[in-house]
Structure 1
Amino acid sequence: MNASTATAPSSGTGKSKQFNTTWILILTSLGFFMSMMDSMIVTTASTAIRTDLNISVNMLQWALNAYNITIGAVLLVGVSMGERIGRRRIYNIGIFIFTLGSVFCALSTNISLLVVSRIIEGIGASVMTPMSMAILTNSIPQNERGKALGIWSGIGGLALIVGPSLGGFIVAKLAWQWIFWINVPIGIIAIYLSSKLLPESKGNRDKINPLDTMLIIFTFAGLIWSLSEITSSTMSMMAIIVGLLSIILGIWFIFRQNTESNPMIPLKYFKSRTFTGGNLATFLLYAAMYGVVFFLPQFLQVVGKVDPLVVGLEILPWTGTLVIVAPFAGKAVDKYGEKLIATIGLIFQGIGYLLISIFVHEQSSYFTMVIPLALAGVGLSMAGPALQKAVLGAVEPTAIGKASGIYNVFRLLGGAVGTTLVVIVFYRFGSIIDSKFFTNGFRAAMFFSAVLSILGIIFSLRFKNIKK
C-alpha cells in the first residue's frame, strides 16, 4: 500500500483520527480468515466427531450445514445493524459471538449441543466477512482498493490451504475439541486490537424492519437447507415444500423492498450494470468453485487412493494461488480495471476445469491435473478481487456495508446452488460404485463447473470500469 495511514470518518463528531492501513488490512483479513477456517477445518475432523459422539453421517451433516445455513440466513440483518450502529462495533460483536460459540462447540457432549453451538458460531461469522470488507473498503483510497482486497482475499484463502491439514493434525495429536479451542485466544486478541486500531464508520442508518428481518432469515435459511437436502440420499417432500415456501417468502421480501422508503436491500443498486453484473458473475464464480471443492478431494481419495493429508498437499496448486496471485491481481485491478481482470480470471478458471474434464481419467497421473488446477486457481485469484471492487465501487461510500452484504449473499447462494447442481450432474453421469463410475461423474462435474465459470463472462463484460 502506498499510504501508511487512513483517516476515519467523523461519524458526526467533527473529528477524525489517523489509522495505520497495515493494521486495518491485518485485522479485517483476520475476521475473514477465522470464518473461512472454521468452515474448512471441521471437514477433516468430521470422522472423529462422528465417532466420539456416536452419530450417523446424516446427523453429522447438520454439524457442518448449521454453520453455513445460519450465515446465509442472518447475514443481511447483521449488515443492516452494522450500517446503523457502527461497522467496527458489529464486527467486534460478531467476533465475540463467534468465539463464544467456539467455546460451546468445544464443550459439546452430544450432537444437539454441537449443532446449537455451530448456529451461534454462524451468527457471529455472518457479519465478520461483510463487515471486514466494508471497513477495509471504506478506509482505503479508491485507487488502492483492488490491491487491498487482493491481499484480503489471499489471507482469507489461506484457510483453504491450512484448514484441512491443520484440522487433521489437531485431531491426530490432540482431540477434535481443540479445533474450536484455538479460536478463543485468537478471538480475544482480535477484539482487543480491533477496538484500538480499526476506524469506526457508519452507513445508511435506516431502521431495521422486523418483518423484513424475519422474511430474509426464513428465505435464506429455507433455501440453503432445502438445497443441501435435495442432494442427500434421504431427500423428502419436506425439502421441496420448504424450498418453494422460501421462494414465495423471497418474492414477498423483494416486493416489500420495492415499496418501502428504507429497504434492507435497495433495489436501485441493481440499476447499475456493474453492481448487477458483478454480483451475478460472483454467483457463477463461486458456484463453479464450490462444486470443485466438494468433489476434488473425494476424487483424489477414491480414485487416487491417497489419504487426507496427501489430498491437502495435492490441491495446493489450486488453493495456493490465492495467497500468491490474489495480491498481485488486486494491484492489476487498480491499474487495468475490473472488467478486464474479472473476465480474464473467469476465462482462466473455466479453461482449467475444462482441461481437467478432458484429460483426467481413471488411470491418469495426478500430474495431469497440476497445470489445469494452477490455471483455475489463478483465475479465481484474479476474478475474486476484481468482482469485489466492482460491486463495492458501484455504490456510494455510505452504502458499502449493504453492498458487501449483498455481495456475500450472492457468494453464499452461488456456493449452495453450485454444489447442488454439480452433485446432480455427477449422479447423472456417474456414481460412487467404483473408480470408473466415480471418474465419469467427476469429469462431468468438472465440465459443468467450467460452463458455470464461462457463463460469468457474460456479466463481467457488462461492467463499466470504475478505475480511478
Structure 2
Amino acid sequence: MAVDSSTGLPAPAVPRQRPWLVLAVLCLGFFVILLDTTIVNIAVPELTVSLGATLDQVLWIVNAYTITYAALLITGGRLGDMYGAKRLFMIGLVLFTTASAVCGLAQTPAQLIAARALQGVGGALLTPQTLAIITVTFPANRRGAAYGIWGAVAGLATVAGPAVGGWLVTSLNWRWVFYVNLPIGLAALGLAAAFLPDLRFNRRHRLDWRGTALVSLALFLISFGLIEGPSHRWGAVWGPVTIPTVLGAGVVVLLLFVWQQRAHRDREPLVPTGIYANRDFAVMSGVVAAISFGMLGLFLPLVIFLQSVLSLSALQAGLVLAPMSLASIASAPVAGRLADRYGGKDALIFGLVFWAGGIALVLWSTRIDDDRGQLIAGLVIAGLGLGMTFAPLQSIAMRDIMPNVASAAAGLMNTARQLGALLGSSVTGALLQAQLAARLGPAADQNVDALPESFRPWVLDGFHKAAATAKGLEVGAGQSGAHIPADVPASVRPAIEQIALKAFHESYIPAMRLTLILPVIVLALAVIGALFVRHTGRPRTGEERTPTG
C-alpha cells in the first residue's frame, strides 16, 4: 500500500509518469473559466442593442457570473473532497459549456442572465479542483513549477479575453463570445476523462448542508453589495433595502456561519477543522486577497486614465496594458522553479515588493504630457512582480494541507481571491468617484474665465451638478467628464469642450494618484504578512509517496 509521507494518509493513485499532461488538461479547463470573466465585457455594447437590454440588465449580465462564482467556491471545493476532484472538474466543465451554448442562443436579457449564473455554478465547481489535483499529483519539490504554469495561464487568459472578444464581436457577432467556449470545453472534457487521475481516499465525507446554505447566502449578499454598491451610490436598492443593509446582513450571516462551524467542528463542517490554525494557509489567504485587491485597484483608474485623459481607444488602451500581462506570463514559471529550488517565502516577498513598486511607478507616471515610456515601465515591473507571486503563494498555502481536504482548501483560497478582487474594484471605485466629485467643481471654477461671461453660470452649474451626482460624468475615450447639450452654439462649443477637458484632467489625475495609494498600502501590508510565513527553506526532495508493506 502507498502512503503520502508528508501526511501519513493513503496516497491516491496518480499517473506519475505524465503529471505535465495532467497539468495541461487542468490549465485548459481553468483557462476557459478565466477567459469568460474578461471576454464578455467587450461585447456589452453590441448585446445591449441586440437584446434591447437596459443598463441594469447589462450589469446583471456581467455580474450574474461573478456573484454566483464567488458564492459557491467553498461549496465546490468541499464537493470535490466528497465525490472526487476529477468528477467535480468534469461536472463543472459540462455545466459551464452547456451554459455557454445557452448564452449564445439567448433571445432575451433574462435568459442570458440565467445562463450566466449557470456558468458561474460550473466555474465554482471546476476551479477548486485544479489546485487540488496539482497538489496531489506533483511532489512538493516540483509543485512550484506547476503552480507557476497555472499562474501563467491566468495571465494569458487576461490578455486573450479582450483581444479574442474584440475580434469575435467585430468579425462575427456577440454570440460567438460564448460559442468560442464550446470547442475548448469539449476538448478539455474529453482530455479530462482520459488523463485526469481519479483521486479517492478511504475516508468518506458528508456535506454540511447548514454550513453550505449559510456561507452561500453570506457570500452572495457580500458580493452583491460590493458589485452593486457603486451603481446605487451605496444607497437604496429596492425601497427600504440599501447597500449597507445588504452588506451588513452578509456580515451577520457570515459570523453566524463561523459560529456554526465551530459548534459543529466534531461533525465534519464545511470548512475543515483547524485549517486556519495553519499559519501559512491563513496568511496566504490574506495575501491572495491583497494581490487581487491591488490588481482591480490598479486597472479601474488606469483604464479611465488611458481612455479619458490620454484619449486612447479601447484597443490602444489594451495594447498599453498588454506588457504587464505578458511580463506576468514570463515571470510566473521562473518564480515557480525558484520556489522549488530555494523555497517560496523570499520569492513571494520579492514579487509583492515589485508588484507594489510597479503600481507606485504607475502612480508617479500619470501625467498628461508623459510619453508613456515610464508608465509602461511601471506596468512591466508590476507584471513581473505579479507573476512572481503565483507559484510561491500556492506552494506555501497548500504545502501542509492534507490531500483529502485539498479541494476545500483550494475553494477557500479562491474565495479569498475573489473577495479581494470585489473589494478592490468597489473600494477604489468609490474613492476615485468621491475624489473626482470633490475636485471637479473647483477645477471648473478656475478655468471658466476663458468663456464668454454669459455661458459661465451654465457651465459651472453643469459641472457642479455632475460632481454632486457623479452620474453625469462620462469617461469614455477622449471625453471630458461632462455632457455638452446639442443646442450649444457651434461658435462656443470648442471653447467649452476645451475648458471641460482641462477641468476634467486637472481633477482626474490627482484623484487617480490618491486612489492608487490605497492598493500600494494594501500590498505593503501583504508584504508584512508574508514575513510571518513559517517555511523558508527548500522544499523536500525525493518521492512524496513511498511504498510500504
Q: TM-score range by the shorter chain?
A: over 0.9
* Residue 58 of structure 1, CA deviation: 2.6
Q: Determine if contact 2:14/2:197 at 8 Å carries over to the other structure.
A: no
For 1:69-148, list aligned pairs within 5 A. 69-148=67-146
Which digits, 9 at most, give the CA deviation of each residue in 1:137-159, with x for residues without a partner? 21011001011100111022111
- Distance across 1 between alignment mates of 2:245 and 2:287: 29
* Residue 233 of structure 1, CA deviation: 4.0
Q: Determine if contact 2:328/2:385 at 8 Å carries over to the other structure.
A: no
Q: Determine if contact 2:91/2:126 at 8 Å carries over to the other structure.
A: no
Q: Determine if contact 1:279/1:387 at 8 Å carries over to the other structure.
A: no
- Distance across 2 between alignment mates of 1:326 and 1:445: 28
Asked if 1:247 is matched to 2:251, the reply is: yes
- Distance across 2 between alignment mates of 1:218 and 1:421: 22
* Residue 19 of structure 1, CA deviation: 4.8
| 2:282 corresponds to which of 276, 279, 283 | 276
Give the TM-score normalised by structure 1: 0.94
Matched with 2:217 is: 218
| 1:187 corresponds to which of 185, 188, 191 | 185
- Distance across 1 between alignment mates of 2:217 and 2:71: 7
For 1:310-325, list aligned pairs within 5 A. 310-325=316-331
Which amino acid letter does the alignment assign opposite residue 255 of structure 2?
I
Matched with 1:36 is: 34
Indicate the SS of the match to 1:369.
helix
The structure-2 alpha-carbon separation of the partners of 1:15 and 1:352, relative to structure 1 and needing over 3 Å to count, comes to: closer
- Distance across 1 between alignment mates of 2:172 and 2:183: 17
* Residue 129 of structure 1, CA deviation: 1.8
Q: Determine if contact 1:338/1:463 at 8 Å carries over to the other structure.
A: no
* Residue 285 of structure 1, CA deviation: 1.1
Asked if 1:429 is matched to 2:427, the reply is: no
Matched with 2:261 is: 257
Which amino acid letter does the alignment assign opposite residue 174 of structure 2?
W
Q: How many residues align?
A: 460
My pick for the range that moved more, 428-437 or 310-319, is: 428-437
Q: Determine if contact 1:19/1:198 at 8 Å carries over to the other structure.
A: no
Matched with 1:206 is: 205
- Distance across 2 between alignment mates of 1:199 and 1:217: 29
Q: Determine if contact 1:82/1:202 at 8 Å carries over to the other structure.
A: no
Which digits, 9 at most, give the CA deviation of each residue in 1:226-255, with x for residues without a partner? 011221145414322121111111111111
For 1:344-359, list aligned pairs within 5 A. 344-359=350-365
- Distance across 2 between alignment mates of 1:109 and 1:379: 43
Matched with 1:452 is: 522
Asked if 1:341 is matched to 2:341, the reply is: no
- Distance across 1 between alignment mates of 2:177 and 2:366: 34
Q: Determine if contact 2:85/2:129 at 8 Å carries over to the other structure.
A: yes
| 2:381 corresponds to which of 369, 375, 389 | 375
* Residue 14 of structure 1, CA deviation: 8.9
CA RMSD, Structure 1 to Structure 2 (Å) = 2.0
Indicate the SS of the match to 1:25.
helix
Q: Percent identity?
A: 27
Matched with 1:6 is: none
| 2:151 corresponds to which of 153, 157, 160 | 153
- Distance across 1 between alignment mates of 2:178 and 2:166: 13
- Distance across 2 between alignment mates of 1:193 and 1:425: 46
Indicate the SS of the match to 1:232.
helix
- Distance across 1 between alignment mates of 2:177 and 2:86: 26
Which digits, 9 at most, give the CA deviation of each residue in 1:92-112, with x for residues without a partner? 000000001101100111111
* Residue 368 of structure 1, CA deviation: 2.2
- Distance across 2 between alignment mates of 1:327 and 1:436: 41
Q: Determine if contact 2:13/2:199 at 8 Å carries over to the other structure.
A: no
- Distance across 2 between alignment mates of 1:70 and 1:357: 33
* Residue 18 of structure 1, CA deviation: 4.6
Q: Determine if contact 1:30/1:156 at 8 Å carries over to the other structure.
A: no
- Distance across 1 between alignment mates of 2:527 and 2:515: 20
Which digits, 9 at most, give the CA deviation of each residue in 1:101-137, with x for residues without a partner? 1011001111111110000000001122211111112
Give the TM-score normalised by structure 2: 0.81
The structure-2 alpha-carbon separation of the partners of 1:88 and 1:238, relative to structure 1 and needing over 3 Å to count, comes to: same
Which digits, 9 at most, give the CA deviation of each residue in 1:331-380, with x for residues without a partner? 11112212111111111111111122123223322222011111111111
Matched with 1:407 is: 413
My pick for the range that moved more, 361-370 or 454-463, is: 361-370
Which digits, 9 at most, give the CA deviation of each residue in 1:411-447, with x for residues without a partner? 0010011111111221232255323323222222222
- Distance across 2 between alignment mates of 1:131 and 1:441: 41
Matched with 1:24 is: 22
Q: Determine if contact 2:13/2:198 at 8 Å carries over to the other structure.
A: no
Which digits, 9 at most, give the CA deviation of each residue in 1:164-197, with x for residues without a partner? 0111111001000001011111111111110111
Indicate the SS of the match to 1:430.
helix
My pick for the range that moved more, 225-234 or 213-222, is: 225-234
- Distance across 2 between alignment mates of 1:313 and 1:252: 46
- Distance across 2 between alignment mates of 1:197 and 1:135: 12
- Distance across 1 between alignment mates of 2:261 and 2:28: 33
Q: Determine if contact 1:33/1:159 at 8 Å carries over to the other structure.
A: yes
Q: Determine if contact 1:36/1:160 at 8 Å carries over to the other structure.
A: yes
Q: Determine if contact 2:28/2:184 at 8 Å carries over to the other structure.
A: no
Asked if 1:304 is matched to 2:315, the reply is: no
Q: Determine if contact 1:44/1:308 at 8 Å carries over to the other structure.
A: no
The structure-2 alpha-carbon separation of the partners of 1:16 and 1:419, relative to structure 1 and needing over 3 Å to count, comes to: closer
Matched with 1:231 is: 230
After the TM superposition, list the runs of 4 or more consecutive aligned residues in structure 1 that deviate by more than 6 angstroms: 11-16
